[in-house]
């Protein structure tokens, strides 16, 4: 059974093609530029060539691509976008036009633009691109199932901050999942079958739309719980959390930092902020406050973060256990909390992909047995014995 997992971040997209007949360490892996960085690069090249640009496709991750769009217009370039593509920059299309200078065009108007206009298709998940990349190495994808993670703020209603809206979603999902028996099951509940993605999770739904024509079942999930779920597959993390009666697992990503707090019954809190707003000292203070059950949601939000939640007023035992992962985990290198740098199956950058495997098993029970067997380390044949 072949399973394709893709963890889409702001800096990289991390890809793992997993065969349940192989040892997980023998999976084929790619860590490549993120889709938003790819769009940024192409937009900047068009700006230098003084070309008009049309953005089509689907809502996707912003950040670098949005900054490049802004710079293109500031440099005097024309930038057109279909409504769905324009929502990459903001759900409020009037604001996209007013503040970024993007000209929103219908599908018919886009079709009528001259051939000299550079066309860029936006999407977080580009299966044909991955198929071609693997084919260059003689590997045919043909996955039996696919799982993709992206960071989704959701479609906040007018007047509601997207940071507030996202954190309300995280809160609701955690509260519902806490009825499940383990931390792993609770985090896996953040995964959604393609046909059951909530309507307001527009970026996850855009991944589903971009995957139209894919024959395999598709599971989509938020990146932060996927990474932390993957960290729990590090045997040292799992054992330490059990022995300590709980602790924190922090994923310090390129753009966002999220930490889950765990107790014996699973999730007992979380904290999320923008990585660029954090210093080592500030991050240390936030994590300490989360462990002590005194971290205030409003204080984090007012500091340009998303927020914090504490479900258990009882502080974690001191000193609390902390595991860290993510491409910017060096922010915690000198932490007073003495973090362990998690590396599930020896590969920190693929933690989100490994978490996606467990979420896929929960979303589609027919895949559960072979996935759980492989995650346990059973089997483990060499590639030449299978392919």
DSSP state letters, 242-256: HHHT-EEEEEE-SSE
CB 249 within 8 A of CB 344: no
Q: How confident is the model at residue 21 (pLDDT cuts 50, 70, 90)?
A: confident
Rounded Cα distance, 257 and 200, in Å: 22
DSSP state letters, 174-229: HHHHTTSSSHHHHHHTT-EEGGG--TT-HHHHHHHHHTTT--S-EEEEEHHHHHHH
Nearest to residue 156, comparing CAs of 91, 78, 204? 91
pTM of the predicted structure, to 2 decimals: 0.95
pLDDT given for residue 99 in this prediction:
95
Percent of the chain with pLDDT over 70: 98
Residue 48, phi then psi, degrees to nearest 5 = -65, -30
In 73-210, DSSP assigns E strands to 79-81, 103-104, 118-122, 145-150, 192-193
pLDDT tens digits, one per residue of 263-302: 999 999 999 999 999 999 999 999 999 999 999 999 999 9
pLDDT given for residue 89 in this prediction:
96
CB 152 within 8 A of CB 202: yes
pLDDT tens digits, one per residue of 188-228: 999 999 999 999 999 999 999 999 989 999 999 999 999 99
pLDDT given for residue 40 in this prediction:
98
Nearest to residue 372, comparing CAs of 358, 356, 383? 358
pLDDT given for residue 16 in this prediction:
97
pLDDT given for residue 166 in this prediction:
93
pLDDT given for residue 378 in this prediction:
65
| Helix H or strand E segment including 240 | helix 235-244
pLDDT given for residue 80 in this prediction:
98
Q: How confident is the model at residue 387 (pLDDT cuts 50, 70, 90)?
A: low
5's CB contacts (< 8 A; 6+ apart) are: 15, 16, 18, 146, 147, 148, 149, 352, 353, 354, 356, 357, 360
Q: Which pair of structure tokens corresponds to residue 351?
A: 């933690």
CB 227 within 8 A of CB 307: no
Confidence check: pLDDT of 180 > 70? yes
pLDDT tens digits, one per residue of 327-368: 999 999 999 999 999 999 999 999 999 999 999 999 999 999
Q: What is the mean pLDDT of the chain?
A: 95
Confidence check: pLDDT of 380 > 70? no
Confidence check: pLDDT of 57 > 90? yes
pLDDT tens digits, one per residue of 5-15: 999 999 999 99
Rounded Cα distance, 290 and 176, in Å: 21
pLDDT given for residue 379 in this prediction:
61
Residue 49 burial (CB < 10 Å; 0-12/13-18/19+)? exposed
Domains and CATH numbers, the chain: 235-342 (3.30.420)
pLDDT given for residue 64 in this prediction:
97
- The arithmetic mean of pLDDT across residues 252-259, rounded, is 96
More confident residue, 161 or 50: 50
pLDDT tens digits, one per residue of 88-114: 999 999 999 999 999 999 999 999 999
Task: Find the length of the chain.
Answer: 387
């Amino acid at each position: 059974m072949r399973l394709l997992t893709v963890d889409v971040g702001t800096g990289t997209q991390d890809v793992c093609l997993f065969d349940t007949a192989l040892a997980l360490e023998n999976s084929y892996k790619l860590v490549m530029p993120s889709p938003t960085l790819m769009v940024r690069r192409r937009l900047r090249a068009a700006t230098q060539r003084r070309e008009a640009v049309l953005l089509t496709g689907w809502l996707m991750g912003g950040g670098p691509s949005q900054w490049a769009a802004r710079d293109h217009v500031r440099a005097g370039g024309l930038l057109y976008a279909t409504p769905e593509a324009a929502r990459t920059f903001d759900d409020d299309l009037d604001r996209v036009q007013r503040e970024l200078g993007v000209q929103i065009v219908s599908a018919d108007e886009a079709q009528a633009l001259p051939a000299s206009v550079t066309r860029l298709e936006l999407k977080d998940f580009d299966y044909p691109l991955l198929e071609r990349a693997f084919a260059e190495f003689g590997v045919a994808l043909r996955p039996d199932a696919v799982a993709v993670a992206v960071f989704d703020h959701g479609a906040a209603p007018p007047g509601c901050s997207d940071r507030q809206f996202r954190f309300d979603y995280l809160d609701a999902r955690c509260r519902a999942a806490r009825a499940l028996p383990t931390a792993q099951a609770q985090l896996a509940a953040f995964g959604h079958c393609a046909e059951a993605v909530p309507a307001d999770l527009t970026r996850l739904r855009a991944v589903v739309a971009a995957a139209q024509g894919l024959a395999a079942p598709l599971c989509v999930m938020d990146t932060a719980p996927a990474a932390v779920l993957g960290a729990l597959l590090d045997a040292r993390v799992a054992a330490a959390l059990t022995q300590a009666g709980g602790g924190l697992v922090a994923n310090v990503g390129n753009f966002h930092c999220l930490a889950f707090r765990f107790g014996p019954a699973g999730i007992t809190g979380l904290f999320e902020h923008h990585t660029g707003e954090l210093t080592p000292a500030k991050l240390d203070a936030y994590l300490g406050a989360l462990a002590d059950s005194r971290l205030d949601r409003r204080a984090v939000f007012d500091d340009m973060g998303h927020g914090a939640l504490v479900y258990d007023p009882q502080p974690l035992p001191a000193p609390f256990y902390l595991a860290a992962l993510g491409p910017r985990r060096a922010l915690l290198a000198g932490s007073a909390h003495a973090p362990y740098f998690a590396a599930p199956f020896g590969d920190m950058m693929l933690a989100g992909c490994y978490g996606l495997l467990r979420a896929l098993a929960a979303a589609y029970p027919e895949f559960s047995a072979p996935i759980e067997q492989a995650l346990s380390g059973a089997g483990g044949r060499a590639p030449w014995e299978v392919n």
